[in-house]
Chains A and B, each alone.
Chain A
């Protein structure tokens, strides 16, 4: 018997041997086990000790009472039957309504045609690079006035019908912009540098959490048929419901149109991908600036990834969408992510630059884990280098990966 080899093992070795563990689990208290112990001829000390440790965890199950189990199963079975039935009905409907959908298609076509007549102009974020101090979060009013938000985690609230803002819950800033007709000038901008974040409440009650390295342009008051804001970077939106006035987030890559819902958008100009994760409600995502661009409808717990290079939108299910907004709470959890994506995010949080040879990551496996963003960059790198198995060196704001 090959099991005889176990008598030469230490306790630790036995406890790392998967076959030994399953042997113990399988034969607990059976004759087979006792025969095995007898066959050890007095050398069974380690085996018994390892078995004792394994069996500590092998306590008898508390069984779910049959009645409760049956009731739970009845619920699940009914839910299943109902959902299968609905799916079948839906398939039938597609068949009978085929003709109607052609009509609908024509109507949509006409609608799209009229849309051509008024192509939307992409918003241009003003270039403040020369005029501002780097690393300071700023609110730039439509009047041209700039306000330093100063805090690492700032808060801005648009005060309704007052033409004013509440900053960090303690000071009020008036926006003296003449409410000119020129729509472009009537946008305020909030600029969050790397290493900072901000929470913003818009005039309609919509809440926006802006992540590091992001900018958002928004009006003092929403006018017209849609509530439009412009984003470069990452933001989590809790949109106030207003069925008459859809809310649209426009970015350089994609537009997201909603009625009232919660979702996260990450669309940095420098990134090759733009990502939308829907937590609640319903949204439609489409490529920016294309008149016939296909609208992708998203359901809760889905992620839409848009690749700017290939101009393709891919829809994926996301078991735990909350992962994507964990940055609001100050930690970052990632599951099966490309190491370069993870590094790009850390760059923004900590305002550091990574230097590495891209070729060395070609074969790297996707990584999963959780980082506490309150930790220093040193601590974060120590953890990450272990997971992704690389060596690194930190020199001021540069991290060199070997």
Chain B
């Protein structure tokens, strides 16, 4: 996007409006993305703040980009994982013996939103259970962010081939879990629309 490129260059030239624009266009997305990794709000907000502080500090030396969100997400993901692992390590000290896994993209809480009682949420919950964390993460980039494979590879540090494989396996499992009961649901949706 030409727009992104221009905003980025303006930001590098110390234009305050460009910084404001980058922040306000992405803050909700970054926060929502952070929530997929952790439910610790202060950890997420601190990490976002560090991300922006470093952008400001290093702005003269930043590379060019034509996709600001992708640029942010790459750096943000790495920082988040590091912070989460750091905080988990401390936790392990507190509760010795308790095994903690890195459950990125866990399907609890807001993945399946507030009205857990409604049919659609239950259905989503059921379907997502069929996927592992990596699969959930990659489909999120593909179907929510609309990133292409090259961009996904950059974010997740995986090869093109493994990205394709991860997606295709995930889709097969999802299709399998869309059993006849779910087809009824599909049918319902269609009926209502008609």
Among residues of B, the one whose C-beta sits closest to the C-beta of A54 is B143
- A113–B113 alpha-carbon span in the complex (Å): 72
Count of chain A residues near B, Cβ 8 A:
50
B133 interfacial by beta-carbon distance below 8 Å: no
Q: Contacts A21-B142, A52-B186, A72-B45 given; indicate if A319 touches B75 (C-beta within 8 A).
A: yes
- A37–B157 alpha-carbon span in the complex (Å): 38
B37 interfacial by beta-carbon distance below 8 Å: no
Contacts of B193 in A (CB 8 A): 34, 37
B179 interfacial by beta-carbon distance below 8 Å: no
Contacts of B154 in A (CB 8 A): 368
A18 interfacial by beta-carbon distance below 8 Å: yes
Are the C-beta atoms of A333 and B157 separated by less than 8 Å?
A: yes
Are the C-beta atoms of A57 and B53 separated by less than 8 Å?
A: no
B88 interfacial by beta-carbon distance below 8 Å: no
Of the listed stretches A63-71, A128-136, A258-266, A343-351, chain B binds A63-71
Are the C-beta atoms of B143 and A386 separated by less than 8 Å?
A: no
Q: Contacts A21-B146, A58-B144, A76-B19 given; indicate if A369 touches B186 (C-beta within 8 A).
A: no
Q: Contacts A62-B110, A76-B19, A319-B75 given; indicate if A56 touches B128 (C-beta within 8 A).
A: yes
Which residues of B from 56 to 82 have beta carbons under 8 Å from A? 56-58, 61-62, 75, 78, 82
Give the contact-size bracket for chain B. 35 or more
Q: Contacts A59-B113, A369-B157 given; indicate if A21 touches B35 (C-beta within 8 A).
A: no
B31 interfacial by beta-carbon distance below 8 Å: yes
Among residues of B, the one whose C-beta sits closest to the C-beta of A76 is B52
B100 interfacial by beta-carbon distance below 8 Å: no
Contacts of A319 in B (CB 8 A): 75, 78
What are the interface flags for B121-164 relative to A under an 8 Å C-beta threshold, 1 for contact and 0 otherwise?
00010011000000000011011101010000110011101100
Contacts of B52 in A (CB 8 A): 76, 79
Are the C-beta atoms of A21 and B57 separated by less than 8 Å?
A: no
A27 interfacial by beta-carbon distance below 8 Å: no
Which of B143, B153, B154 counts the most A-chain CB atoms under 10 A from its CB?
B143
What are the interface flags for A7-19 relative to B under an 8 Å C-beta threshold, 1 for contact and 0 otherwise?
0000110010010
Are the C-beta atoms of B27 and A79 separated by less than 8 Å?
A: no
Contacts of A145 in B (CB 8 A): none
Contacts of A21 in B (CB 8 A): 142-143, 146
Which residues of A from 44 to 89 have beta carbons under 8 Å from B? 44, 48-49, 52-64, 68-69, 72-73, 75-77, 79-81, 83-84, 87
B111 interfacial by beta-carbon distance below 8 Å: yes
Are the C-beta atoms of A56 and B28 separated by less than 8 Å?
A: no
A22 interfacial by beta-carbon distance below 8 Å: yes
Are the C-beta atoms of A79 and B53 separated by less than 8 Å?
A: yes
Contacts of B82 in A (CB 8 A): 322
A25 interfacial by beta-carbon distance below 8 Å: yes
A320 interfacial by beta-carbon distance below 8 Å: yes
Are the C-beta atoms of A75 and B146 separated by less than 8 Å?
A: no
Contacts of A18 in B (CB 8 A): 146, 148
Nearest-Cβ distance from residue A28 to partner chain B, whole angstroms: 11
Among residues of A, the one whose C-beta sits closest to the C-beta of B124 is A56
Which residues of B from 154 to 194 have beta carbons under 8 Å from A? 154, 157-159, 161-162, 168, 171, 174-175, 178, 182, 186, 189-190, 193
Given contacts A72-B27, A80-B19, A317-B61, 18 further A-B contacts (CB under 8 A): A11-B175, A18-B146, A37-B193, A44-B190, A48-B189, A52-B182, A58-B143, A62-B110, A63-B28, A63-B32, A68-B41, A72-B45, A73-B27, A76-B53, A80-B16, A84-B14, A370-B157, A386-B162
Point out residues on A near B: beta carbons under 8 Å: 11-12, 15, 18, 21-22, 25, 34, 37, 44, 48-49, 52-64, 68-69, 72-73, 75-77, 79-81, 83-84, 87, 301, 317, 319-320, 322, 333, 335, 368-370, 386-387
User: Can you give 18 contacting A-B residue pairs, CB < 8 Å?
Assistant: A49-B175, A52-B178, A52-B186, A53-B143, A53-B175, A58-B144, A62-B110, A63-B32, A72-B45, A73-B20, A73-B23, A76-B49, A80-B56, A84-B16, A87-B14, A368-B153, A369-B157, A386-B161
A-B pairs with lowest CB-CB distance, top 5? A64-B31, A57-B143, A61-B32, A54-B143, A57-B144
Point out residues on B near A: beta carbons under 8 Å: 14, 16, 19-20, 23-24, 27-29, 31-32, 35, 41, 45, 48-49, 52-53, 56-58, 61-62, 75, 78, 82, 110-113, 124, 127-128, 139-140, 142-144, 146, 148, 153-154, 157-159, 161-162, 168, 171, 174-175, 178, 182, 186, 189-190, 193
